Amino acid sequence: MAGILCAMRISQLSAESGVPIPTIKYYLREGLLPPGEQTSATRAEYGQTHLRRLRLIRALLEVGRLPVASIRKVIDAVDDEELGVHEMLGTAHYALSPAMEEHEETPEWQQARELVDRLIADYGWNINPAAPAREELAQTIVTLRRLGVEPTMADLTPYATAAQTLVSTHELHKIPFDAPRETMVEAHVIGTVMYGRVLDAVRRLAEESESARMLGVDG
Amino acid sequence: MAGILCAMRISQLSAESGVPIPTIKYYLREGLLPPGEQTSATRAEYGQTHLRRLRLIRALLEVGRLPVASIRKVIDAVDDEELGVHEMLGTAHYALSPAMEEHEETPEWQQARELVDRLIADYGWNINPAAPAREELAQTIVTLRRLGVEPTMADLTPYATAAQTLVSTHELHKIPFDAPRETMVEAHVIGTVMYGRVLDAVRRLAEESESARMLGVDG
């Protein structure tokens, strides 16, 4: 098996990865997958690098639901060995952020951003000024205010504390920092997206149960 | 002002709620908004009930992004005074759940559901067997396994604990249980959706900061 994995024909690469041959050929044409080693005019061989790369593309596509242009950016960051691991993971992280609607620069946006900045400062977080999550949080604050709900620092801190605990004691430790670059990015993408869904689902379960408890409903 | 709010013409209802007159007329035709009190052949008057109802419709539409058919179900639950508060909130809660893709009943789904059931039992949660969040969590577990990640109970519990703490000490206490039924549902919808976005954004911020810390990157 190890022998086969070291040098595979495209049919074996397809069988091992679960990615159909036409899709593999498409990734080769698009440059997302590096070419195999040409052993004759009609035969190329593929290896572990290709398998890892296909796993990453699949995670970005199926889990991250990223368009090919965004996948290319992430792959470029993986291939750029001069780029540090933090910046490489950040490229994937930013690509996964929800798209923001355009908006005018109003005083309510400035106030929302000030609240975000204060939260980041209070937690001592080290965040790039261009991080999309800053704008996401500001946008949510603006929307809440328009709905007549005025979020204060005291409303945000329980969420920030919960996130901080989850991330520092659990989430980041799942990334295999000694693995190849593709594997690190793949683990980061899966962790960010899928455990985001886990968190959303368990929060809904906890809400239902707590509502039943507070309102004295039997199960 | 209080006098005006007690009996408004449709133009005042529009100005107070921020909802355009044609949209109000559409809601009236669809039965989402109850008719005003007809004071003459060409004139109807609206009151606080209508304002509250418009606020709820707006929250379900703009925050929950629900289609009109789902909004009608929630409104019906609000109007059905025989329905308890927990069931009424539950109708909105279930309507807000992400749509599930169809799937076959496979052993991997059964295993995933068993893990969800064990988690719910471990936390002593009181959850309806038909709660959509059960299936959401099971689906996420199935997807993780297909990606070669095997989530165990130990992987899920940090998220469940974080959610439990947030919900019981913070989130459910934001619902004004002594307010009119519309207002309770509105607060629940805003809390579930918008604070879900807050949690997602602060988690991304915490991830970026923790990655920088673990990899020794300066801000």
Looking at residue A219, its pLDDT comes to 52
CA of residue A116 relative to chain centroid, distance: 21
Most B CBs within 10 A among A208, A213, A214, hence the mutation to make, goes to: A208
> Would you say how long chain B is, in residues?
219
All residues at 6 or more sequence positions from A90 whose CB lies less than 8 Å from its CB, including other chains: A128, B208, B211
Q: What angle do CA B197, B201, B203 make, to 5 degrees?
A: 115
> B201 pLDDT band (50/70/90 cuts)?
very high
Share of chain A above pLDDT 70, in %: 96
**Per the CB < 8 Å rule, is A208 touching B149?**
no
Q: Is the pLDDT of residue A215 over 50?
A: yes
> A84 pLDDT band (50/70/90 cuts)?
very high
Distances (CA, A) of A60 to A6, A47, B34: 25, 20, 47
> B63 pLDDT band (50/70/90 cuts)?
confident
Range scoring the smallest mean pLDDT among A122-136, A153-167, B100-114, B149-163: B100-114
> B147 pLDDT band (50/70/90 cuts)?
confident
Looking at residue B32, its pLDDT comes to 92
pTM to 2 decimals? 0.88
Query: Is there a contact between B134 and B105 (Cβ–Cβ < 8 Å)?
Result: no
Average pLDDT over residues B67-72: 91
> B219 pLDDT band (50/70/90 cuts)?
low
Looking at residue B98, its pLDDT comes to 82
All residues at 6 or more sequence positions from B183 whose CB lies less than 8 Å from its CB, including other chains: B52, B55, B56, B176
pLDDT digits (tens, 9 = 90+) for A152-199: 999 999 999 999 999 999 888 889 999 999 999 999 999 999 999 999
Between positions 83 and 102 of B, the ones with CB within 8 A of A are: 84-86, 89-90, 93, 97
Query: Is there a contact between A78 and A88 (Cβ–Cβ < 8 Å)?
Result: yes
Q: Is the pLDDT of residue A4 over 80?
A: no
Structure tokens at B98: 């992400």
What SS3 class is residue B44?
A: strand
Q: What angle do CA B217, A169, A81 make, to 5 degrees?
A: 35
Using a CB-CB cut-off of 8 Å, the residues of chain A touching B168 are 206, 210
pLDDT digits (tens, 9 = 90+) for B186-195: 999 999 999 9
Using a CB-CB cut-off of 8 Å, the residues of chain A touching B214 are 172, 177
Asked if A198 is an interface residue toward chain B (Cβ–Cβ < 8 A), one would say yes
Q: Which amino acid is at A117?
A: D
| ipTM rounded to 2 decimals | 0.90
What SS3 class is residue A40?
A: strand
CA-to-CA distance for A171 and B74, rounded, in angstroms? Answer: 36
Looking at residue B64, its pLDDT comes to 87
Count of CB atoms situated within 10 Å of the CB of A208: 25
Buried b (16+ CB within 10 A) or exposed e, B161-179: bbbbbbbbebbbeebeeee
- The shortest C-alpha distance from A137 to chain B (Å) reads 6
Which residues are bridge partners to B45 per DSSP? B37
Report the Cα–Cα distance between both ends of chain B, in Å, rounded: 52
> A41 pLDDT band (50/70/90 cuts)?
confident
Closest Cα to residue A78, out of A187, A5, A171? A187
Nearest to B147 among A125, A144, A190 (CB): A190
Query: Is there a contact between B27 and B54 (Cβ–Cβ < 8 Å)?
Result: yes
**Per the CB < 8 Å rule, is B163 touching A125?**
no
